[in-house]
Amino acid sequence: LNEIKQLAETCAGVLQEKTGSAEVFIQLMNRALSRNDYNLIDRLGDILVQRFSINEIAEIIRQTNVAHICAIAYETLAMKPVSMLLPLLDDQIYSEIGGTAIEQQAYDFENPEAQRVLEELELDDYDLG
């Protein structure tokens, strides 16, 4: 049993070092959350910032219903420049996620660029309506 646990830990460690996919990230984060392993949660958050593209971060949000994972992913998107989030708005799958991340920047972080983008989007919606 100890050898099996040790093998599982080794496999999880390798996955953590190599992860670049939404599915693996979600599995690792669920594992860390279930164990209340806050050091691992922090390390996974750092990996999310360093290795994942904007679309992969959005995919993590789309694929999980776990509030903690969504919050970490949204926080990561909120740290990105607004210009990097704009392509999400044009993607049918990720447009809501992109809009939420830009709103978070505009309202929670009082980012003037994000506020300008939201104003422009509201004008576009009004013109279409």
* Structure confidence by residue, pLDDT tens digits, 50-79: 989 999 999 999 999 999 999 999 999 999
CA distance 17 to 6: 17
Residue 22: closest CA among 50, 49, 62:
62
| pTM > 0.75 | yes
Provide the pLDDT confidence category of residue 1 given band limits of 50, 70 and 90.
confident
18 vs 116, more confident: 116
